[in-house]
Chains A and B, each alone.
Chain A
Amino acid sequence: MSSNLRLRYEIDSFVVPGDRLGSFFKTTLPGPGTSARKGHLYASTAGRLSLQQQEQQSLITVTPPQEQDFASRRVILVGQIVLAKVDRVSWTQAHVSIFATETGGTLQYPTEAIVRREDIGSTVPVTHTTNTNSNNNNNKTSWQVIEAVRPGDWIVARVLSLGDTQRYMLTLAEPQLGVWYALSAKSGTVMQPKSWNTMVCPETGIEESRKCAKPRS
């Protein structure tokens, strides 16, 4: 297998972008950090050249030494869980700003997003109970937006789609998604979740309606 490879650089040597690594055949594939052009392999990043043997092919990769963990290098992906702050609430949707992504990193700029009223709660009941009262209490299929989130709340949501040209679309229709931090409207104290749809102020005891996120264990 190694006789088919014609690399111009030794394995584990350092290459710079633009270096021609060699020709590639059916048994040689360009991996991350390389690019192919007219039957030749070129390095596209500065780093160390490595070779990974797969079943019948070889993968030529260039591993950069940079630790790519900067706050300015995070892009929102569909399906990610994000941390957002509620800016405005209307009758049909809530306007939020995304500040951080699931990997724990903050974005460089806050990004606009919306949570539609249909995406706050699940429209399919998760349990099949014969008790009508229990069913209504445990499976809320219709929300008023003001009952779920309020301006100033911090929510944990999942990116549903790219949305339109200005905003992403988020969803709260999962048990672990919802309001994660809220202040009491009366006293301004941080409220604690009492149930999945109620938050209570520890100072005044006033209960407010929220779509609470399931606490993480």
Chain B
Amino acid sequence: MSQPWLRNRNHLFALCNLRTDGRKASEIRRMRFQMGVVEQVAGSALVEMGLTAVLATVTGPTECLRRADELPDRAVLQVHFAAAPFCTADRKHVPTNDRRFLEAARLVQRALEASIFLHLYPRSLIQIHITILSEDGGRLCAAINAASCAVVHAGLAVKDIVCACAAGGVDPVLIDLNRREEIDNINMACAMLPQRGTIVLSQCEARLPSVEALDRVLETAMDGCRAVFAVMEAAIRENAALQWSSKRGKAIVALSETNVV
């Protein structure tokens, strides 16, 4: 912060009501969805939200590892969370039983259990493996979006596509915080079924000044989820059309801009 050009740039952004990465308060980061990146599993998705990249793979429905873990009327959903050692600026190895990862896996599991028709696959096991390849804030939302895309790519029956987005700050309320904004502002992650308008997950670990602020932040997060859904729906629809074309041997692979915001 001692460089004068950096101070001037921040001042210039603040004067134009822009954030440090040049976005307005209601803009989400550039998102990119790639489905089918891992050929050995039924469903896989690589999601990039800004500089946060998350890879999710779906295995199943398959037999449970132990018969005692089976449920007679529905499938068992297991989510495993991991991070690559190179995902942050300082390289470090995070074990998979880290408490933050266990909590994140549990949250992703609850968000997806609200969407998948688990009763259609009795006595089976559905496993989702999530790996963070690059982290720049909003990793829980990126993980939920990646897992949701992978589940849809695997062909599992779902009620709606789960979309997640974070909102933070109070005045003004920001959408889709990056890493620097997460440190300075209130952060609330929100996941919802956008076509039904149902919130399936909401998490906030900050001190909110009032109830009206909570309503405002939650509404802004839901607007962010709808914006994420617009990008995700276009990517899924294009991927389905591409798979149908390649199934008939008429695939023309072209880099399109519809799934890039």
**Given known contacts A18-B195, A70-B42, A109-B63, A75 and B123 CB-to-CB distance under 8 angstroms:** yes
Contact mask for chain A residues 157-178; partner B; CB cutoff 8 A; 1 contact, 0 none: 0000000111100000000000
Q: Find the B residue at minimum CB distance from A112.
A: B67
Task: Let me know if A47 and B195 touch, CB within 8 A.
Answer: no
Q: Find the A residue at minimum CB distance from B75.
A: A75
**Contact among A44, A67, A109 for B65, CB-based, below 8 A:** A109
Assess whether B27 is interfacial by the CB under 8 Å rule.
Answer: no
Q: Find the A residue at minimum CB distance from B127.
A: A72
Cα-based distance from A167 to B64 in the complex (angstroms): 12
Assess whether A64 is interfacial by the CB under 8 Å rule.
Answer: yes
Contact mask for chain A residues 1-45; partner B; CB cutoff 8 A; 1 contact, 0 none: 000000000000010111110000000000001010000001011
**Contact among A20, A45, A107, A166 for B63, CB-based, below 8 A:** A107
Cα-based distance from A48 to B233 in the complex (angstroms): 14
A111 to chain B minimum Cβ distance, whole angstroms, is 5
Task: Let me know if A35 and B157 touch, CB within 8 A.
Answer: yes
In A85-104, which residues have CB < 8 Å from any B CB? none
B: contact size bracket: 35 or more
**Given known contacts A73-B42, A109-B65, A48 and B240 CB-to-CB distance under 8 angstroms:** yes
Q: Looking at the complex, which of B3-11, B54-62, B205-213 is the stretch in contact with chain A? A: B54-62
Task: Let me know if A66 and B62 touch, CB within 8 A.
Answer: no
Task: Let me know if A33 and B67 touch, CB within 8 A.
Answer: no
Cα-based distance from A165 to B241 in the complex (angstroms): 43
In B21-77, which residues have CB < 8 Å from any A CB? 41-43, 59-63, 65-68, 70
Which residues of A lie under 8 Å from residue B99 when comparing CB positions?
Answer: none
Cα-based distance from A108 to B126 in the complex (angstroms): 12
Task: Let me know if A18 and B196 touch, CB within 8 A.
Answer: yes
B172 to chain A minimum Cβ distance, whole angstroms, is 30
Task: Let me know if A17 and B247 touch, CB within 8 A.
Answer: no
Contact mask for chain B residues 144-181; partner A; CB cutoff 8 A; 1 contact, 0 none: 00000000111111111100000000000000000000
Q: Find the A residue at minimum CB distance from B120.
A: A44
Assess whether B111 is interfacial by the CB under 8 Å rule.
Answer: no
**Contact among A18, A47, A165 for B67, CB-based, below 8 A:** A165
Which residues of A lie under 8 Å from residue B196 when comparing CB positions?
Answer: 18
Q: Which of B41, B67, B68, B196 has the most CB of A within 10 A?
A: B67
**Contact among B157, B161, B194 for A33, CB-based, below 8 A:** B157
Assess whether B237 is interfacial by the CB under 8 Å rule.
Answer: yes
Task: Let me know if A66 and B42 touch, CB within 8 A.
Answer: yes
Task: Let me know if A75 and B67 touch, CB within 8 A.
Answer: no
Task: Let me know if B240 and A18 touch, CB within 8 A.
Answer: no
Task: Let me know if A64 and B155 touch, CB within 8 A.
Answer: yes
Assess whether A217 is interfacial by the CB under 8 Å rule.
Answer: no
Residues of B within 8 A of A (CB): 41-43, 59-63, 65-68, 70, 117, 121, 123-124, 152-161, 193-196, 233, 236-237, 239-241, 243-244, 247
Residues of A within 8 A of B (CB): 14, 16-20, 33, 35, 42, 44-48, 64-68, 70, 72-76, 107-109, 111-112, 164-167
Give 22 pairs: A residue, B residue, CB < 8 Å, sorted on A. Answer: A14-B240, A14-B241, A16-B233, A16-B236, A16-B237, A17-B158, A18-B159, A18-B195, A19-B195, A20-B195, A44-B158, A46-B152, A46-B236, A46-B239, A48-B244, A65-B247, A66-B155, A66-B243, A72-B62, A73-B61, A74-B62, A165-B67
